[in-house]
Amino acid sequence: MKIGIPRSLLFFYYYPFWEELFQELRIEVLISDKNNERIMNKGVKYSISEICVPMKVYVGQVLDLVEQGADLVYVPRIVNIRKGVTLCPKFLGLPDMIKYSLEGMENKVLTHKIEQKSDDISDWKDYQIFLEVFDVSKKELKSALNKASQKWQEYRAMHRKGFASDQLLEDIKRTPDTGDLTIGVLGYVYNVYDKFVNMDLLGKLREMNVNIVTFEMIDDEEIQQEVDQFAPRKKMFWEFSNKLLGAGYHFLKSDEIDGVIHVTAFGCGPDSILGPFLDIDSDKYNTPFMTLRIDEQTGESHLLTRVEAFVDLLRLQKTKEARKCEK
């Protein structure tokens, strides 16, 4: 049996877990191609127009996997990875959207609920459907989940050493940061690491000799501290929006971050709350903040011009500050 995993949404956060889990269960895994024009067009064609671009990409990736010959596409319903906080509602309805809005997908989706107490999604109680679908024993399943958990913890440990997910998942050269500027790139993993949709923002920043920090590199405790401090102003309900909120305030307050770029998808409800708070407060912390809104029609030259201008301004500001200190 071949299981398809779409290369989008939480792929960039959980792929090492899923890869290890299926490998341990001796299930062949197919990953969809990296996002490209063909996949994007398919996603746009078969999605409702109002939905955010990451969901359109996901639809395109699912269709790509079926074309590649996947017997089932793995679409877990990730409800929560912390008590009392859910993921964005679009994630909650994702398996239904795939099953019932795409022709022929009703019996091609492997789904189950994930309701766990932490980001480590290895508690076996949510995976009992695997016993039947893959005809494995409880012992085999528990052992595979343990190994998947270990693999994922190693992946997360590498984030905390300063590696971005694209450097870990793809064959991108991992060298120590030597740039003269450091930018906090704030965004959901599927917006930050989808090179097609964001016109390879990270690659462009690296070419400009900029060091990159993303939310995965920040300790969970530091993120939570910021979320707790923010809670009296507004309680956010969505797991990854909270992570971005905490990381965003951490970036704004940090002396090591020269500026913040918030990468957000057009039509994203959670970001329409999160972004303005950070944008307004960036003045208070004197940290330049830029919003990059992406959709399926974003033009490369428009994006590049804005990013180049932002980087130039940060360099200018840094030089001025250095001169002031010398006087």
Does 127 sit near ligand SF4 (CB under 6 A)? no
Q: Which of 64, 226, 271, 296 binds ligand SF4 (CB under 6 A)?
A: 271
Q: Does 141 bind ligand SF4 (CB under 6 A)?
A: no
Q: Structure tokens of 234?
A: 């507004």
Site for ligand SF4 in 82-101 (CB under 6 A): 88, 90
Q: Which of 15, 22, 188, 230 binds ligand SF4 (CB under 6 A)?
A: 188
Residue 21 near ligand SF4 by CB under 6 A? no
- Position 270 contacts ligand SF4 (CB under 6 A): yes
Q: Which of 25, 223, 265, 290 binds ligand SF4 (CB under 6 A)?
A: 265
Paired residues of 116 in beta bridges: none
Closest separation between CB of residue 80 and ligand SF4, Å? 14
- Site stretch for ligand SF4 (CB under 6 A), options 23-31, 140-148, 262-270, 298-306: 262-270
Of 49 and 301, nearer to ligand SF4 (C-beta) is 49
Structure tokens at 227: 């979320």
Quick one: which of 4, 6, 43, 54 contacts ligand SF4 (CB under 6 A)? 54
Binding residue (CB under 6 A) for ligand SF4 from 5, 62, 164, 268: 268
If the CB atoms of residues 53 and 212 are measured against ligand SF4, the closer one turns out to be: 53
Question: What letter would DSSP give residue 126?
Answer: G
The C-alpha atoms of residue 41 and residue 160 are separated, in whole angstroms, by 35
* Structure token digits, residue 149: 């958990």
DSSP for 49-110, written as a single string? TTS-HHHHHHHHHHHHHHHHT-SEEE--EEEESSTT-B--HHHHTHHHHHHHHSTT-TTSEE
Alpha-carbon distance values, 6 to 33, 50, 60, 96, 218 (Å): 8, 21, 9, 16, 26
Q: Which is nearer to ligand SF4, 265 or 290 (CB)?
A: 265
How far, in Å, CA of 64 to CA of 59, rounded?
Answer: 9
**Nearest-angstrom CA–CA distance, 197 and 35:** 8
Give the residues lining the site for ligand SF4 (CB under 6 A).
Answer: 52, 54-55, 88, 90, 188, 265, 268-271
